[in-house]
Structure 1
């Protein structure tokens, strides 16, 4: 029982341990007996933390696919792409980096760092890029 407990990194509780022991030994072992034996051997299962469920927000506007996976440009400022990246820092803080990149040479045209991921961040980046 201890070797199985170590093999699964302590994830199994007495119910899962009972199932695996019954399969391994092809014998009916009662779950209460496994519970008592695990208690005596001080084998405790690791409680996994539940992951937070995120609700997908519906986008306000989905743009048409103009590039159609043609990510090369023949001259500068012909094709620009944008992306927003989330950075986590501190205990529970987040920062968002919005950047516009030229596909001709891969250079960053403009970028803006903000604390909220919204359209205002992207529009600010676009305004900064067109002002150049």
Structure 2
């Protein structure tokens, strides 16, 4: 039971019984089942933070609109086949605004690139795309987004064309069409952002950096057979 209490405290209460099982088995090199860990967590009075769904959607339509080629097929057979991208709104200080732009690979769930900015403009999205391409110079994925103004802009069209990426866009008002990246933002807010109040932009960025490192390297996932996203990715390219 001590290891469960330690992991619960170490990870700020974000581990539900499923992920707690993965962490305990990795830590102790055991094979406990989920029912046993759930029972022990119940005895200890430990519960994970419950993430509440929020129905925010972007309903903007501009000139360079693409079809929904992804069509909710959120699986991939190799890294860099399919990426999802979006921007989420954050706050710090006295009503100051910040924005997190991220790209997620649908093969392993890893965040291949992200940028934090104080303006929700085209450059925020373009810089995220540049970072993703620099980290994966030979990648020519299908990249899925909503129809926000950054993604329907000519600058985005030109850069994705230059990188030989295939654009796909959600239907108007259908947030579920981009569910994987929305899921990541939900986990980030529940497991990190919502746990404290940020006084400065630098403090916010520091925690985002730490969380995405944790998410990519240490957040073991059932969908990856108990591997963290980058473990799954590295195994595929080995």
Smaller-chain TM-score bracket: 0.5 to 0.7
Q: Does 1:111 align with 2:123?
A: no
Deviations 1:31-76 (A, max 9, x none): xxxxxxxxxxxxxxxxxxxxxxxxx765453332110110111111
Structure 1 residue aligned with 2:77: 74
When residues 57 and 91 of structure 1 are mapped into structure 2, their CA distance, relative to the original with a 3 A threshold, is farther
Paired with 2:93 and 2:63, the residues of 1 have a C-alpha distance of 30
Structure label with greater radius of gyration: 1
Structure 2 residue aligned with 1:84: 87
Paired with 2:66 and 2:97, the residues of 1 have a C-alpha distance of 26
Paired with 2:61 and 2:120, the residues of 1 have a C-alpha distance of 14
**SS in structure 2 of the partner of residue 131 of structure 1:** helix
Match of 2:98 among 92, 95, 99: 95
Structure 2 residue aligned with 1:29: none
Paired with 1:129 and 1:101, the residues of 2 have a C-alpha distance of 10
Spell out the pairing of 1:111-130 with structure 2 (5 A cutoff). Answer: 111-130=114-133
Structure 2 residue aligned with 1:25: none
| Superposition TM-score, scaled by structure 1 size | 0.54
Paired with 1:60 and 1:84, the residues of 2 have a C-alpha distance of 20
- Where structure 2 has 5 or more consecutive residues not aligned to the other structure, the ranges are 1-58, 136-238
- Where structure 1 has 5 or more consecutive residues not aligned to the other structure, the ranges are 1-55
Q: How many residues were matched structurally?
A: 77
- Structure ranking higher in strand proportion: 1
Paired with 1:100 and 1:61, the residues of 2 have a C-alpha distance of 20
| Superposition TM-score, scaled by structure 2 size | 0.31
Paired with 2:88 and 2:115, the residues of 1 have a C-alpha distance of 11
Higher relative contact order (CA 8 A, sep 6+): 2
When residues 65 and 85 of structure 1 are mapped into structure 2, their CA distance, relative to the original with a 3 A threshold, is same
Structure 1 residue aligned with 2:65: 62
Paired with 1:110 and 1:62, the residues of 2 have a C-alpha distance of 23
